[in-house]
Amino acid sequence: MPDGSQSKARIAVFISGTGTNMAALLYASRLKDAAFEIVLVASNVEGAEGLTLARTEGLATFTHSHKGITREEQDAAMEAAAVEAGADYIVLAGYMRILSQGFVERWEGRMLNIHPSLLPKYKGLNTFARAIESGDSHAGSSVHIVTHELDAGEVLAQVKVAIAADDTAESLAARVKIAEHQLYPRAVADYVSRGNDPDHLYARLRELALALPETHEKTSHGSPGFRVGTVKSGKFFAHFSQMHHGSQHIAVLVKTSSMDELLALVETQPETYYKPDYYGASGWVGVILNRPGLDWDHVQDWLMRSWREVAPARLTKLHDAADMF
Ligand code: GAR
Segments making up each domain of the chain, as ranges: 9-194, 198-323
pLDDT at residue number 1? 42
pLDDT: which is higher, 220 or 64: 64
Q: Which atom of ligand 1 is nearest to the CA of 173?
A: 2
Higher pLDDT, 13 or 324: 13
pLDDT at res. 293: 82
Q: Round to whole Å and give the CA distance between 50 and 42.
A: 10
Residue 115 is among the residues annotated as catalytic for this protein: yes
Contact between 39 and 12 under an 8 Å Cβ cutoff? The reply is yes
pLDDT at 222: 84
Q: 71 CB less than 6 Å from ligand 1?
A: no
Give the Å distances, CA to CA, from 121 to 124, 148, 158, 173, 180: 10, 18, 12, 16, 17
Q: Given this model, what pLDDT does residue 325 score? A: 64
Mean pLDDT along residues 285-293: 92
Distance between Cα 8 and ligand 1 center (Å): 25
Q: Which CATH topology does 198-323 take?
A: Aspartate Aminotransferase, domain 1 (3.90.1150)
> Which ligand 1 atom is the nearest neighbour of the CA of 20?
17
Ligand 1 closest atom vs CA 114: 4
pLDDT at 46 over 50: yes
For the entire predicted model, the pTM comes to 0.82
CA–centroid distance, residue 251 to ligand 1 (Å): 39
Report residue 324's pLDDT band, with 50, 70 and 90 as the boundaries.
low
pLDDT the model gives residue 52: 97
pLDDT of residue 167: 98
Give the mean pLDDT of 275-288.
94
Domains 9-194 and 198-323 share a fold: no
pLDDT, position 316: 86
36-50, 65-79, 115-129, 236-250, range with the lowest pLDDT? 236-250
Distance from Cα 287 to the centre of ligand 1, integer Å: 41
% of the chain beyond a pLDDT of 90: 88
93 touches ligand 1 (CB under 6 Å): yes
End-to-end Cα separation, the chain, in angstroms: 40
Asked if residue 21 has its Cβ within 6 Å of ligand 1, the reply is yes
**For residues 36-61, average pLDDT:** 97
Compute the distance from residue 177 Cα to the ligand 1 centre, in Å: 8
| Percent of the chain residues topping a pLDDT of 70 | 96
CB-ligand 1 contact for 290 (6 Å cutoff): no
Q: How many CB atoms lie within 10 A of CB 106?
A: 14
Band of pLDDT at residue 262, cut at 50, 70 and 90: very high
CATH number of 9-194: 3.40.50.170
Return mean pLDDT, the chain.
Answer: 94
C-beta 15 within 6 A of ligand 1: yes
Which residue among the candidates 115, 144, 181, 244 is catalytic per the annotation? 115
Ligand 1 centroid vs 176 CA: distance in angstroms? Answer: 10
State the Cα–Cα distance between residues 190 and 169, nearest whole angstrom.
Answer: 30
- What does the alpha-carbon distance between residue 2 and residue 221 come to, in Å, rounded to a whole number? 32
- The per-residue pLDDT for 246 is 66
